[in-house]
Amino acid sequence: MSIAGQDRLDSPHPLAGPVGIGGWLILPLLDVVINPFYSAYEIHSVLTGWNLLGAFVGGAEDGRFEAARLPLLAYTFTSVVRVALAGYCLCLMLKRSPRAPRWMIIYYAVELVLGFLDFFLYRTVEDMLQQASSQDYWVLPFIAAICLIWIVYFRRSRRVANTFRSREEADRQLGEIFS
């Protein structure tokens, strides 16, 4: 490591290695492009199925009908958060903003929490409607592994460090080269 800190990943100076949105960085980009569409579909499903919930409960007057709507509202809220956060991260990535890596780490940390929350909300609705569970618990370690892998990637990748460095610093260095 140099004294100037040029080997640090959070340094504004370029590191040896790949630059640009390519390689493994394409996968998180696809994630923030596709995730809003999937979340919008989920929101649409909840809104269109809102009145159909009574048919599943069978007109039960024990409060299950109203109680089943609360987890659905929470699920809709998590989907709205996903759409907003993914859209913001997509804008930052396409601008190649130096804030993009930090926001992508936040995005995957939120995805980790919301993934667990959505799993248990879905299980709660199934229990209230007395349906057989359609999701197994093996999904939880899968969600955790994916999110943690991408968090580490955005913290340690040279491609990320080179692609999303400070524009002002890059322009200054370019000016020094040609002056």
Q: Which two structure tokens, joined as six digits, stand for 114? A: 């919301």
| Most confident listed range (54-68, 104-118, 159-173) | 104-118
**pLDDT for the residue numbered 11:** 54
In a 10 Å sphere around its CB, with 0-12 CB exposed, 13-18 middle and 19+ buried, how is residue 161 labelled? buried
Write the DSSP assignment of 63-79 as a string of letters: SHHHHHHHHHHHHHHHH
Rounded to the nearest 10 degrees, the angle between the axes of helix 64-95 and helix 100-128 is: 160
39, 86 Cβ separation under 8 angstroms: yes
CA distances from 16 to 30, 150, 158 (A): 25, 21, 8
User: Looking at residue 136, what is its pLDDT?
Assistant: 78
Residue 132: what are its φ and ψ, rounded to 5°? -70, 145
Q: Which residue has the higher pLDDT, 157 or 132?
A: 157
- Percentage above 90 pLDDT, the chain: 38
Model confidence pLDDT, tens digit, residues 42-75:
888 888 877 666 555 555 556 666 677 788 888 8
Helical packing angle, 139-156 and 100-128, nearest 10° = 170
pLDDT tops 70 at residue 150 = yes
- pTM recorded for the entire structure: 0.76
pLDDT at 6: 46
- Quickly state the pLDDT bin for 3 (edges 50, 70, 90): very low
pLDDT, one tens digit per residue, over 13-46 is 555 678 878 888 999 999 999 999 999 998 888 8
Can you give the pLDDT at residue 15? 57
Q: Which residue has the higher pLDDT, 104 or 172?
A: 104
Cβ atoms within 10 Å, residue 134: 8
Structure tokens at 80: 């709205």
pLDDT, averaged across the chain? 80
Cα gap 70→9, rounded to integer Å: 44
Question: In a 3-state reduction of DSSP, which class is residue 74?
Answer: helix
Cβ atoms of residues 9 and 15 within 8 Å: yes
| pLDDT of residue 5 exceeding 50 | no
**Domain layout of the chain by residue ranges:** 23-178
Tell me, what's the pLDDT at 2? 39
Say yes or no to pLDDT of 135 above 80.
no
